[in-house]
């Protein structure tokens, strides 16, 4: 069930990256939300040690490779085409540990088996480490039960379906593997070069961060769509626009100043230090990305008390970096968009820090778009996933490896 593919160590040859320092920052309790930073050069050449200007920063080879070695890249996948997965794998820098968490159908064709084979073949050629598991595997729920971490289990006793559930499992495996950072990349990306850029951005953001509690979110420069006249390079997805608008309202309500700082409310491509990740409560399915921001504000925004004093002392940083590569992924249609909007809005609406005025605004925008089902008064409250900081990760690993020998 859990396959570990071995690797010999090979030297990496990462390039440097040149990007903006944060130009403005919204402070919210112990949290700093930085405005979008741009990438100037994907490869800024040999690092001659000359200092940069006051507004740009060059992140060096060594530093990027060192961070990549401490990073796991989690790829959640549900029934995507294998060619796309292979492309994504080829874009992930060699030194990152790849963790694929699949919720693909196992019948009539065992798609998971195909993914495993593709990964195995890929790894044979490039010689690197990877983990893969199926999120609904009974061995996995046994291990979760064993360590008392049950908030992801459904009524049938196995882990629920949902992207968030896959991501949290990926984080557990990253922690199990002793990694310090965990990044997420969707499996349905058409452009391996973009995937590579995302990871360089993750590493550069971490290199710039001043606290161990850090998150780096990718803001796509364009999300192209097919139109009658050819490719149209749209700036914002429709879901993102709504989510960002309401996250910004939430921030403005508390600071008293209107803001547009949040641009990455739905960004699937993001990374966190495990030190931050393990403190967060997650929200299931597609509401995970916006709720990460809401939960950071709940925990570290200084509005309601927190038990995480160390993070309050050291501060939490959220960075947003705009890519150079456009984002091309599978088009999943209208119903999927609707599901994402309702889940995203629900995660803000049901937050204990969401003011009544914002609740009204959320309802209004859902109603005008006909997003609520007949008779539904409000978006459903998303199911929550507990923080994983207190899990006995060794015990989890032990049960998991025992279960996996049965499963194979």
- Residues 305-334 binding ligand GDP (CB under 6 A) are 329-330, 332
Q: Choose which of 20, 26, 68, 80 interacts with ligand GDP (CB under 6 A).
A: 80
> Is residue 289 close enough to count as binding Co ion by CB under 5 A?
no
> Is residue 29 close enough to count as binding ligand GDP by CB under 6 A?
no
For residues 337 and 363, which CB has a smaller minimum distance to Co ion in the complex?
337
Let me know: does 114 contact 82? Beta carbons within 8 Å.
yes
For residues 68 and 80, which CB has a smaller minimum distance to ligand GDP in the complex?
80
DSSP per residue, 81-146? -HHHHHHHHHHS-TTSEEEEEE----SSS-HHHHHHHHHHHHHHHHT--EEEEETT-HHHHHHHHH
Q: Cα separation of 159 and 161, whole Å?
A: 7
> Is residue 77 close enough to count as binding ligand GDP by CB under 6 A?
yes
- Residue 319, classed as helix, strand or coil, is strand
Q: Cα separation of 341 and 345, whole Å?
A: 6
> Is residue 78 close enough to count as binding ligand GDP by CB under 6 A?
yes
> Is residue 369 close enough to count as binding Co ion by CB under 5 A?
no
- Considering the complex, what minimum distance in angstroms separates the CB of residue 17 from Co ion? 24
Q: Cα separation of 157 and 194, whole Å?
A: 38
For residues 324 and 329, which CB has a smaller minimum distance to Co ion in the complex?
329
- Considering the complex, what minimum distance in angstroms separates the CB of residue 16 from ligand GDP? 29
For residues 137 and 186, which CB has a smaller minimum distance to Co ion in the complex?
186
- Residues 172-211 binding Co ion (CB under 5 A) are 186, 188
Any idea what DSSP says for residue 4? E
> Is residue 102 close enough to count as binding ligand GDP by CB under 6 A?
yes
Let me know: does 344 contact 287? Beta carbons within 8 Å.
yes
Determine if residue 36 is left, alpha or beta; phi over 0 gives left, psi from -120 to 50 gives alpha, anything else beta: beta
Q: Cα separation of 18 and 334, whole Å?
A: 37
> Is residue 162 close enough to count as binding ligand GDP by CB under 6 A?
yes
Contact positions toward ligand GDP, by CB under 6 A?
A: 76-78, 80, 101-103, 135, 161-163, 166, 186-188, 268, 329-330, 332
Contact footprint for Co ion (CB under 5 A) = 186, 188, 329
């Amino acid at each position: 069930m859990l396959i570990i593919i071995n690797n010999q160590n090979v030297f990496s040859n990462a390039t440097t990256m040149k990007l903006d320092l944060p130009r403005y920052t919204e402070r919210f309790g112990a949290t700093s939300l930085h405005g979008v930073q741009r990438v100037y050069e994907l490869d800024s050449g040999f690092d001659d040690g000359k200092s940069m200007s006051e507004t740009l920063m060059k992140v060096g080879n060594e530093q990027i490779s060192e961070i990549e070695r401490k990073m796991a890249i989690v790829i959640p996948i549900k029934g995507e085409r294998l060619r796309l997965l292979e492309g994504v794998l080829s874009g992930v820098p060699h030194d990152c540990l790849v963790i694929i968490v699949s919720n693909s159908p196992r019948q009539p064709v065992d798609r998971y088996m195909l993914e495993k084979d593709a990964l195995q073949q890929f790894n044979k050629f490039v010689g690197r480490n990877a983990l893969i598991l199926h999120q609904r595997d009974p061995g996995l729920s046994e291990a979760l039960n064993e360590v008392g971490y049950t908030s992801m289990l459904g009524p049938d006793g196995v882990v629920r379906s949902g992207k968030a559930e896959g991501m949290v499992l990926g984080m557990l495996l990253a922690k199990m593997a002793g990694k310090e950072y965990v990044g997420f990349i969707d499996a349905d990306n058409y452009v391996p070069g973009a995937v590579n850029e995302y990871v360089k951005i993750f590493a550069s953001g971490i290199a710039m961060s001043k606290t161990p509690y850090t998150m780096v979110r990718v803001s796509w420069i364009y999300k192209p769509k097919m139109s009658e006249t050819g490719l149209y390079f749209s700036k914002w997805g429709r879901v993102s626009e709504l989510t960002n608008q309401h996250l910004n309202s939430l921030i403005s309500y508390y600071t008293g100043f209107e803001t547009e700082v949040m641009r990455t409310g739905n960004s699937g491509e993001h990374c966190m230090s495990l030190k931050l990740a393990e403190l967060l409560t997650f929200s299931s399915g597609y509401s995970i990305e916006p709720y990460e921001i809401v939960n950071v504000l709940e925990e570290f925004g200084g509005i309601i008390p927190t038990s995480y004093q160390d993070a309050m002392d050291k501060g939490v940083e959220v960075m947003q970096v705009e890519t150079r590569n456009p984002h091309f992924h599978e088009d999943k249609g209208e119903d999927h968009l609707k599901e994402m909007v309702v889940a995203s809005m629900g995660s803000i609406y049901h937050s204990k820090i969401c003011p009544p005025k914002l609740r009204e605004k959320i309802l209004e925008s859902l109603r005008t778009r006909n997003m609520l089902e007949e008779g539904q008064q409000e978006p459903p409250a998303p199911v929550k996933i507990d923080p994983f900081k207190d899990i006995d990760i060794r015990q989890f690993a032990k049960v998991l490896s025992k279960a996996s020998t049965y499963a194979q």
